[in-house]
Amino acid sequence: MAETTTRAAQPRGFRSAELGWPELHRIPHPPRRLPLLGDVLGANRATPLQDSLRFARHLGPIYRRKAFNREFVFVWGAELVADLADESRFAKHVGLGVANLRPVAGDGLFTAYNHEPNWQLAHDVLAPGFSREAMEAYHPMMLAVAGRLTDHWDREQAAGRPVDVPGDMTKLTLETIARTGFGHDFGSFERDRPHPFVTAMVGTLTYAQRLNSVPFPALLRRAAQRNADDIAYLNRMVDDLVRTRRTAGGDGDLLDRMLETAHPETGERLSPENVRRQVITFLVAGHETTSGALSFALHYLSRHPEVAARARAEVDRVWGAAAVPGYDQVAKLRYVRRVLDESLRLWPTAPAFAREAVQDTVLAGRYPMRRGAWTLVLTPMLQRDPEVWGADAERFDPDRFDPKAVRSRPPHVFKPFGTGARACIGRQFALHEATLVLGLLLRRYELRADPGYRLSVTERLTLMPEGLRLHVERRAGGSATAAPVADSDEAPAASASRCPVSGAGD
């Protein structure tokens, strides 16, 4: 708790870069900067992340952009990001779209400022909810929800209709986190339209992103009212869920931990308001990013039949004739995991994270930063850095995550879950769920891409392939096609790195 105290007086971050970067003039910016407006020529309000990637390719590993009266520094070079990972000099910065989510998520794990004590309290209380024992208990529920997905896909296939990949992955991951974490069933697969929770969630994420693209929030008056209505709905829904649990009790899931567990050292408990914020945080973050990761992975599998065939052969070999895979069998899908990692490399669904200086320092020995100065790390560009990933860094190739290839790369070049103490607490949950689902779908279906589809990425703070539809065909034999064979592949180093929840590493 000492770290929290020392950072209590720290600035929350400068709104404009010139206040925190004494030698800002040394950092390039786009040409044709306009007075008052800044670097808005050619910008698209709907795709700020993809605009930033385009500028990054032209301006290099560190650059700046100005929008109206606010200037931001962007970083993606591997050397610079490795320096920003130094926890003794840098910490998470809550800014841009993340800060815009505070009206709904407050001091939840994702949106808390570093000086707010509830972050450490909630982290310590909830970390055991992502232990191996807890994950093993979630596994049957993940299987049950996946069964609802395959039932739905079977019906769509029988009717000759393509499946809506992003929509169905959103249903899957929402039901998974709701059931495993909070004992709740949204009935997503029984609905013709998205559950109102999803509609409200998408509304709040979209509004948070739009706030960054206007000079005055008053210009979004109608959108602000819709956002307030969305937040009110999310709060009511979660309050009802918590009220029911207090009456009926649970079975030791995340919600029970929030309501009943005291901090092991201080004896503190989460307040009712913070419980609401944490539930909303987990429901949103626990399904939105995983659904995107699964959707991108299925897109690439459909476009690379040789990769899908290799992954499917691994599933058949490792799971064999078992009706359903056991918990330990999921981690043995090492090539399937590489497919997932490579999809996250190209399109990390949480596509950026911000870091701020906790003291006056010099980034990578070249760029002075005052305490509180901050920068935004562009994860998709970091993970496409040709100096690290090669001249073909834009190409989809799961063998980049072969153990030897992983060991040959420097640290801090693969960051789909953020970095440091504030990295994703649910990383192992998301990876287990996504690997399990990919294995089940590969085992059951052949995936057929629409030849006319071209990948289009929609942005709402998170990333998702837009309009992705796939035709699925049941495989001969249905589920299992081979007897189990010992898997001799060495476990990839990427799989071995552990979430901060359980200790070392990123």
411-470, pLDDT tens digit by residue? 999 999 999 999 999 999 999 999 999 999 999 999 999 999 999 999 988 999 999 999
Question: What DSSP element (H or E) covers 142?
Answer: helix 132-158
- Give residue-wise pLDDT tens across range 370-381: 999 999 999 999
> Pairing between strand 445-449 and 469-474?
antiparallel
Tokens of 118: 């509830």
Non-local CB neighbours of 135 within 8 Å, separated by 6+ positions: 327, 428, 429, 432
Residues in Cβ contact with 416 at an 8 Å cutoff, skipping those fewer than 6 apart: 293, 344, 345, 348, 349, 350, 379, 383
What's the DSSP call for residue 350?
S
Task: Please report the sign of the dihedral spanned by the C-alpha atoms of residue 139, residue 142, residue 147, residue 153.
Answer: negative
**pLDDT score of 476:** 82
pLDDT recorded at residue 422? 94
Closest alpha carbon to 415 in 363, 345, 491, 499: 345
The pLDDT confidence band at residue 51, using thresholds 50, 70 and 90, is very high
Task: Quote the CA–CA distance of 174 and 187 in Å, as a whole number.
Answer: 10
**CA atoms 44, 50, 52, 56: torsion sign:** negative
Cα-to-chain-centroid distance, residue 447? 24
Give the H or E element holding residue 146. helix 132-158
Q: What are 471's strand-pairing partners? A: 448
With contact defined as beta carbons under 8 Å apart, do 63 and 56 qualify? yes
Look at residue 219 and tell me whether its pLDDT is greater than 90.
no
Task: Please identify every residue annotated as catalytic.
Answer: 289, 417, 424
Residue 475 has pLDDT above 70, yes or no: yes
- pLDDT (tens digit per residue) in 120-165: 999 999 999 999 999 999 999 999 999 999 999 999 999 999 999 9
Measured between alpha carbons, how far is 188 from 148 in angstroms, rounded to an integer? 10
Give the rounded percent of residues in the chain with a pLDDT score beyond 70: 91
Q: Tell me which residue of 488, 496, 358 sits closest to 427, measured CA to CA.
A: 496
489: phi then psi, degrees, rounded to nearest 5 = -60, 145
pTM (2 decimals)? Answer: 0.90
Residue 360's pLDDT band (cuts 50, 70, 90): very high
Tokens encoding 313 = 């052969």
414: tokens are 């693969």
- Quickly state the pLDDT bin for 217 (edges 50, 70, 90): confident
Task: Output the average pLDDT for the chain.
Answer: 90
- How many angstroms separate the CA atoms of 168 and 128, rounded? 30
